[in-house]
Amino acid sequence: MLSLADLNAARARIAPHIHRTPVMTSRTLDAELGARLFFKCENFQKIGAFKARGATNAVFSATDKELRGGVVTHSSGNHAAALARAARLRGVPGHIVIPTNAPRSKVESVRRQGGEIIFCEPNVAAREEACARVQAETGALLVHPYDDWRVIAGQGTAALELMEDAPDLDVVIAPVGGGGLMTGTTLAVKSVRPSARVFAAEPEQADDAARSLATGVRQPTPTGFTIADGVRTGLGEKAFSVLREKLDGVLLASEAGIIAAMRHTWEILKILIEPSCALPLAALREGKLAVRGLRVGIILSGGNLDLDRLPWQEAG
């Protein structure tokens, strides 16, 4: 379990290498939901996603001995680019295992950061097998996309900034996939403002976090399709150990709701976000949590997507 001191140490460590992203508000969205909404815009972060925080903390907290073979990970994209960037900044090789169905924009982002890409079949077993093979061949340090305390500590720094820029929040909501962002956010919020409630937002068609917390047993990785590609992964062990004790609940959003919330954000806030990023607003617009009269913090997790395949165009 991470302490507030761990989160603050991560914040100081990564500060020279990341953006302090802005918090945006919208009178239009406030009026629609009857609440004060504060959007932490990690879509403006380095590599376009919050993942820059966790990857940077993991790489810059590692020793030279640990990094003698560089770093290796498997990721659908955002963590991959973030780790490739952190490795480049630290001056070590970044070996990145990516499934063949990853969005093209995220693959190109890894290439721009200088990562060595190893493609694999789009399933967990293939990702882990390829990652283990590279690790054995190179001696690289494994930096897991979410099931790593150093990564989780880095992700939690976004919520620390949010609570400084938008004090006295009643509720904080973030997307959940593997759980790194959600765990870091929960630990940060509960440490700084214990009275605030923290909720995860998840697709109805990939609801393993909701089922895991409801049953008390970590559920298998979802097999159903969701447009929210950034959360197409099962809840990690470390995340489960924290969230089952500290999270206040999981809000589920429909596929149509995710697409509508994504488009609504583009239209109202005039910013680009990816489908996973739209989960919290989608759940609120579908009435999954009563927030009227409350101050609500929402972490917009990222803005990387294929602009040639926008979800509302495909849905149409």
Residue 315 has pLDDT above 70, yes or no: no
Q: What are the tens digits of pLDDT across the range 195-228?
A: 999 999 999 999 999 999 999 999 987 777 899 9
Summarize the confidence of residues 86-92 as an average pLDDT.
97
Tell me if 306 sits within 8 A of 104, measured CB to CB: yes
Which pLDDT score, from 0 to 100, does residue 316 have? 45
Query: What does the alpha-carbon distance between residue 163 and residue 193 come to, in Å, rounded to a whole number?
Result: 8
Query: What does the alpha-carbon distance between residue 261 and residue 279 come to, in Å, rounded to a whole number?
Result: 8
59 CB contacts (<8 Å, ≥6 apart)?
Answer: 67, 71, 83, 86, 87, 89, 90, 92, 143
310 CB contacts (<8 Å, ≥6 apart)?
Answer: none
Residue 6 has pLDDT above 80, yes or no: yes
Tell me if 176 sits within 8 A of 199, measured CB to CB: no
Angle at 186 between CA 237 and CA 172, to 5 degrees: 135
> Considering only CA atoms, which of 160, 124, 159, 158 is closest in space to residue 144?
124
* Residue extents of the structural domains in the chain: 4-49+150-315, 52-148
Q: Which amino acid is at 149?
A: W
> Domain 4-49+150-315 adopts which CATH fold?
Rossmann fold (3.40.50)
Least confident of 94-98, 106-110, 145-149: 106-110
- Average pLDDT taken over every residue of the chain: 94
Q: What is the CA radius of gyration of the chain?
A: 18
Query: What does the alpha-carbon distance between residue 149 and residue 187 come to, in Å, rounded to a whole number?
Result: 12
52-148 belongs to CATH 3.40.50.1100: yes
Q: What share of the chain has pLDDT > 70, as a percent?
A: 99
For the chain, the straight-line distance linking the first and the last C-alpha, in angstroms and rounded, comes to: 45
Least confident of 147-156, 260-269, 306-315: 306-315
Q: What predicted TM-score, i.e. pTM, was given to this entire model?
A: 0.94
**Six-digit token pair at 297?**
């913090």
